Amino acid sequence: MDISFNNIQLGNKSDAFIYLLCKNIKNSFKLPEIINNRFKGEKNEVMTVMIDNKLYIISGLGNNNICDNEAIKKAVTDGLSYAKSLNCHSVSIHSNTNSVESLKIIVETAVLVNYSFDKYMDKKNTLEKINIIADKKYKKEISESLIIANNVNEVRDLINEPANILNPKSFVNIIKSRSRKTKNKVEIFDERKLKSKKMNTILAVGQGSKKKSYLAIIKYLPLKNKKPIILVGKGVTFDSGGISIKHGDFGDMKTDMSGAAVAYGIVNAVSELKLKKNVIAIMPLVENMPSSNAIRPGDIVKSYSGKTIEIINTDAEGRLILADALAYASELKPAHIVDFATLTGAASYVTDVDAALVMGNDTKLNKMIVSAGNKIGEKVWELPMWESYVKKTKSNIADVKNSGYKSKAGTIMAGAFLSNFVKCKSWAHMDIAGVSFSDEEGSSGYGVRLGIELIKKLK
């Protein structure tokens, strides 16, 4: 898909012309009389007219004195969805909102709405070209929006890939290839290095699979003597549950590497945007499979931190690999740590599919994450992380246990377990299990835009 932005006049270069109109801003476009007479510009109002072999799609923004992000997103989505349903090849988007913030939202939404994971299909369902009609003075800001949206879609591609294509090794190869373009420094811990580092929980989860396990680290460090912001992402490229095998249909467990993909996408976007922030992404990459070599319920593993873990359930594997990754991240003297993980099915019982969940040891950081999510339309709900929860993670025969707690608060308890391995005063755990993927829409790419917005605000 090609997207361009310019200040060209309406012509015959597009199959469809989308106009986003506010009811309270004067319409300076030379639109057909039928549109001017009948269209009011209300929110959710959509009008389609075919005149002289030109398709006009008009979407209303409502009373837009203040940039209403959600109204703009809805109007763009409605217009593009209709154009795609008619198999249009190209569209031009015009808007009578003149703010740069509105234009950025239009660009991001257009790229994200046009996304389709159709690489394994004969029929493609995307527009070949989208023209954003805007003043060239906004080229820099619109280019930044393109960078963000394209990185979100790259993450969606990774998450949507089947597990026979995307495994720990192929993910590592993608990271290496991508970093040659961004010039970010990459470190890869293979199994030999993991063993020498005594990152035993990462190795333990992956030992039931023929696929080798890795820890991938991407470093974007433009500033000297400045503590980094560290992103940690859960990277289970397929989660069968191991010996504690899952029940029913679990083909969507190819997406259990969403957290790693999000961390990867954020650091790539931050480097392409040339933000003056030091950012490190740490991604443990494993496959969790049942075999004669797999870990068993009842096993005890000594983690990188030195703490021993009693394995109660091998399907609580994400918190195991994150334990080593978070302990390692803590040693790098970060200013902040934020981890992303599709960690618990229980997350969707809290906010359904409408919001991710955040908890941690820094209320200020949590609130900044919630604020960043609100700004860009990725909602977050804060959960408590009380000491009483952490105490329930203790084991009778090891330091801690990975499951089997006397608590119904499954999502909170998973975060409480992780807290045992964090030595950073500003840490947030984000459970994105409910918002990362749906069978109908595929990957949402949730977390990339939120993470970029957060990093812009963090010190």
Q: Residue 327: its pLDDT value, please?
A: 98
Least confident of 43-57, 168-182, 328-342: 43-57
Q: Which of 104, 212, 319, 449 is catalytic?
A: 319
Q: Averaged over 117-138, what is the pLDDT?
A: 86
Any long-range contacts for 53-57 (C-beta under 8 Å, 24+ apart)?
54/12, 54/17, 55/15, 55/16, 55/17, 55/83, 55/86, 55/88, 56/16, 56/17, 56/19, 56/31, 56/32, 57/16, 57/17, 57/18, 57/19, 57/82, 57/83, 57/91
Q: Residue 248: its pLDDT value, please?
A: 87
Q: Residue 451: its pLDDT value, please?
A: 98
Q: What is the DSSP string of 141-167?
A: HHHHHHHHHHHHHHHHHHHHS-TTT--
Q: Decide if pLDDT at 66 tops 60.
A: no
Domain boundaries, the chain: 2-134, 153-457
d(CA 153, CA 317): 27
Q: Decide if pLDDT at 4 tops 90.
A: no
Q: Residue 198: its pLDDT value, please?
A: 98
Sheet strands (E) in 234-320: 235-239, 279-288, 300-302, 308-310
Contact 3, 146 (CB under 8 A): yes
The residue written with tokens 């994105």 in the block is 432
Q: Decide if pLDDT at 230 tops 70.
A: yes
Phi and psi, residue 231, nearest 5°: -105, 125
Contact 214, 285 (CB under 8 A): yes
If one counts every other C-beta atom within 10 angstroms of the C-beta of residue 386, the result is 11
Contact 434, 347 (CB under 8 A): yes
Q: Decide if pLDDT at 109 tops 70.
A: yes
Q: Decide if pLDDT at 3 tops 60.
A: no
What does the pLDDT look like over 390-428, one tens digit per residue? 999 999 999 999 999 999 999 999 999 999 999 999 999
Q: Does domain 2-134 have CATH number 3.40.220.10?
A: yes
C-alpha pair distances (Å), 50 with each of 16, 17, 30, 55, 287: 9, 10, 15, 5, 52
Q: Residue 7: its pLDDT value, please?
A: 42
Q: Residue 67: its pLDDT value, please?
A: 55
Contact 41, 23 (CB under 8 A): yes
Chain length of the chain: 459
Q: Which helix (H) or strand (E) holds 81?
A: helix 69-85
What does the pLDDT look like over 343-395, one tens digit per residue? 999 999 999 999 999 999 999 999 999 999 999 999 999 999 999 999 999 99
Q: Residue 11: its pLDDT value, please?
A: 41
At 234, is the pLDDT very low, low, confident or very high (cuts 50, 70, 90)? very high
Least confident of 2-11, 88-97, 180-189: 2-11
Q: Residue 96: its pLDDT value, please?
A: 80
What does the pLDDT look like over 364-374, one tens digit per residue? 999 999 999 99
Q: Which of 246, 302, 367, 379 is catalytic?
A: 246
Contact 421, 307 (CB under 8 A): yes
Q: Residue 101: its pLDDT value, please?
A: 86
At 64, is the pLDDT very low, low, confident or very high (cuts 50, 70, 90)? low
The residue written with tokens 């030595």 in the block is 423
Whether 26 is catalytic: no
d(CA 119, CA 297): 39
d(CA 188, CA 195): 13
- Helix-helix angle 448-457:363-376, to 10 degrees: 120
Structurally, at CATH architecture level, domain 153-457 sits in 3-Layer(aba) Sandwich (3.40)
Helices (H), 273-386: 318-330, 347-351, 363-376
What does the pLDDT look like over 18-46, one tens digit per residue? 999 887 777 778 888 888 888 888 888 89
Whether 246 is catalytic: yes
Can you give the pTM of this predicted structure? 0.94
At 98, is the pLDDT very low, low, confident or very high (cuts 50, 70, 90)? low
